[in-house]
Amino acid sequence: MLLQGKTALISGASRGIGRDIATKFAEHGAFVGINYNSSEKDAKQVLKIIEDKNGRGILLKGDIANLRDVENMVTTFVKEAHHIDILVNNAGIYVRNKFKDLPLESWRRVLDVNLNGCYNLCKCSLPFIPEGGRIIFISSQLAFKGSAHGADYATSKAGMLGLMRSLALELAPRKILVNAVAPGTIDTDIIAHYTKEMRKKREAEIPLGRLGKPEEIANVCLFLASHLSSYITGETINVNGGLYIH
């Protein structure tokens, strides 16, 4: 029970990596805020999983790109939890496009959600994060290597790391630890478009020979959220099976 008595607000927690982070944190004793935007059915399912295991949580609907939505989310969460021990910036969107075909509207939307959404969440949450709190960003290996079919996504995830490092420096006097996790290819709906051949090709490119599991990202987030990471801040932990080593 590494997070017994802690509170955690997790964006994009209705599916994929966010879902596993929420259930993992609840399993270890945290009261979790399950943010979702459109997938209410999935979010309710996450809450049911948590409650069936005697965990506690609350649903928080809102588009993180919308500052008013985020303000309302944080207000609702704090009414129940009183403070935010752990903030996980996980929500994100990924639309495959070559840069030459990338519409300005798509570029803006991806950055609004993936990067500006982190600004909104951090800005609204910080007054309620106590000394010793944690902020965790879910970035991507593409923040380092770029993407031939997602320049907007790679840009947003690289910008996220700049924000993470800056907050780590600024918040160190308050003993708030700020870190990031950079997943490789994880078996979630973000790769639902993969054909069997594409999947096999990707697995062959990964030194460990398989795709990652959402739970493996959640496990690293659990470490960063707990007392076990007490002397780590401003760092990015790569979880990619050796696909991109740097």
Q: Which of 153, 194, 231, 244 is catalytic?
A: 153
Distances (CA, A) of 228 to 4, 7, 171, 240: 14, 17, 19, 22
178: helix, strand or coil: strand
Q: How many angstroms separate the CA atoms of 216 and 236, rounded?
A: 15
Is 153 a known active-site residue?
yes
Cβ-proximal residues to 9 (8 Å cutoff; 6+ apart), any chain: 32, 33, 35, 60, 73, 74, 77, 84, 86, 87, 88, 121, 125
Task: Determine contact, residues 162/119, Cβ cutoff 8 Å.
Answer: no
138: helix, strand or coil: strand
Cβ-proximal residues to 165 (8 Å cutoff; 6+ apart), any chain: 178, 234
**Phi, psi angles (nearest 5°) of residue 146:** 75, 175
Cβ-proximal residues to 4 (8 Å cutoff; 6+ apart), any chain: 28, 29, 30
Q: How many angstroms separate the CA atoms of 15 and 45, rounded?
A: 9
Q: Which long-range contacts (CB under 8 A, 24 or more apart) does 103-109 make?
A: 106/152, 107/152, 109/65
Residue 66 tokens read as 């919308």
Catalytic residues: 153
